[in-house]
Amino acid sequence: MMLLAHILATILTAILSSIPTKDLGPLRNVAIKVMNESAELTNAFSHYSDDLPPQTVTEEFDFIVVGASPSGSVLANRLSEIEGWSVLLLEAGGEPSILTRLAPSATAFSSTEYDWGYYAEQQDSFCSGCVRKRVKLPRGKCLGGGSSTNYMIYTRGNKLDYDMWQAMGNPGWSYEDVLPYFLKSEGANIKINDTGYHNKGGPLGVSDVPYRTRSATVFVEAAQEAGYPYVDNNGEHQIGTSYAQATMRNGLRSNAGTSFLRPVRHRKNLRIRRGAHVTKVLINAARKEAYGVEYVKNKKIYTAFYRKEVIISAGSLNSPQLLMLSGIGPKGELERLDIPVVKNLPVGEIFYDHVSFTAMGFLLNESITLNLVEDLFKPKTYTDLLFHGRGPLTNLGGTNSLVWLKTNLTDQDHPTLPDVELIFSPGFPGIDFGLFYRINFNIGDEIYDTLWKPFIGKPVFQVSPMLMHPRSRGRMKLRSSDPFEAPKYIENFFSDRENLDITRIITAVREIQRIVGQPALQKYGAKMIDVPIPGCEMYSFDSDEYWECAMRAVPTSVYHQMGTCRMGPEDDKDTVVDSNLRVHGINSLRVVDLSVVPRPLSGHTVAPAYMIGEKGADIIKNHWGALGV
């Protein structure tokens, strides 16, 4: 059976590798059609019922939550714990397909109806090697939001992140304050477990990834040889190396829908409506008070009123859009689109994201990396998953191991605050023959054919540096007043005056090279792939000038957008909500999601999204005298 799997994988690799990249479209379209049809089948046998009222009837609820993001899903669950409260949750997308539960599915579903289809605006200073020179911004459009389609990495960030939030004028958001809310969600099953930093009893599955390639293990060994201690990255210390912890239970994705919504969907005081696109928050301009929402479902317009509050939890890319469509935002921008100004606030004026670089590969002399194609032909791959929750299909879209490091270029007053993360992948983006990874990173044919395609089927791994505290920051604007038209997202990667963002990533490249040069990896002959990126051939390969050119040619977002509705005191003119998540100057309206993050985090963002939902729910319960009920 092993030999047969190897023969079949070799044949398939030869066939798919011979197809010109430009001709892969029909094959990709077939795959996307299958995934979209799996979505339709899932919705046909949905766990949820959409009990819409007649259009002539206006409903009233205690709370209206806009968006089944991780934060919004937690809110719907926790607020509906109070039997005397009624909660309406409105989500523009549908129910996630069962296929999204498979860990490697993250790359595939970013091109389907589960994705909003957003791209950043074209800018001359970066992304010359991207299709249409634009960075792709995948965002989950379904119950659970991005938690249903992301790469599942669970990192909370650094303690100092949250202590800095509090120091910026946000009482109650120190690490000591927020740790209990991380623990409240977490149902942990991990081996390295710092005492007091994990909880086994929460609804969200958090576990070690069951499947590890030999290359992932060797990379961690090499990092330790380079001086990085092995750490619980969600524990006492962060700088160091470890295997990824993931939002996973029994080898399958644990998302916000399965963890927080499905278990409580039968509560009589909770209504969950899919395919309900909220187009406006209804606000009494004279009283500066929200009083309901307008939404579209099945091409019909509905209105819902609240008795207590409207809560926007549509995520960092959609929450600011909804605020601006409702008259809350920069005065000049709203007036430009003839939107009546209710409150002049800097919505979307700040836009943080984690930038990475996905074109740094290494060739080995022995096959210890991921061979997913061959594994797909092995029956054991499927029995391991179904009966034991392990095996190759529990691999996180290629991510296995991580390193957190502190460069010597920034914030020397906080030596325990890392500024770069190294993400190890036991494969190269050509592993799927150009069907999805290339599309996910929006990489053009020339770069794919030059740098990735020649290494299909070879023992290659990749390490991607992720900049966690960028000096550069973007912004977002409405494209029009049409709620169904995507806004403009302007990333501004590498735009800081000191060029420090580029310099720190180059520093990270040198650190990657130092780790790869350690005995653990040199045992397998690890060698950097020295094929120049098209457009950068004029620079000496491996020079600082070459790496700057390469990074500007093919940067990628890690989909960690934050800060578009920043939290802070009202006298801080860069903020939109206060520390209780209330929109400045507007009664009965809160924003509870990653858009409120006041400064970039030292890690991935889904764990903080759950925490913000948990803390936000308690803030609201406390406000209405129900905390502890």
Q: Which one of 354, 469, 560, 584 is the catalytic residue?
A: 560
Report which secondary-structure segment, H or E, holds 362: strand 361-363
Instruction: Single out the catalytic residue among 354, 469, 584, 604.
Output: 604
Tell me how far apart the alpha carbons of residues 104 and 433 are, in angstroms, rounded to a whole number.
15
CA 374 vs CA 3, 370, 428, 431, 605: distances in Å:
10, 9, 15, 11, 33
How far is the C-alpha of 385 from the C-alpha of 242, rounded, in Å? 23
How many angstroms separate the Cα of 500 from the Cα of each of 191, 359, 470, 497, 506?
37, 20, 8, 8, 10
Query: What CA–CA distances, in Å, run from 569 to 35, 164, 287, 328, 546?
Result: 45, 14, 21, 17, 43
428 burial type by CB count under 10 A (0-12 exposed, 13-18 middle, 19+ buried): buried
- Cα separation of 214 and 451, whole Å? 24
The stretches of 331-457 forming alpha helices (DSSP H) are 331-336, 372-375, 379-383, 437-440, 445-447
Q: In the annotation, is 388 catalytic?
A: no
Q: Quick one: angle between helices 606-623 and 70-79, nearest 10?
A: 30
Nearest of 279, 292, 323 to residue 58 by alpha carbon: 292
Based on its alpha-carbon atoms, the radius of gyration of the chain, rounded to whole angstroms, reads 24
Chain-centroid distance of CA 47 in Å reads: 25
- Assess whether 604 carries a catalytic annotation: yes
231 is in an annotated binding site: no
Which residues belong to the annotated binding site? 278
State the binding site for FAD. Answer: 278
Positions annotated as catalytic residues are 560, 604
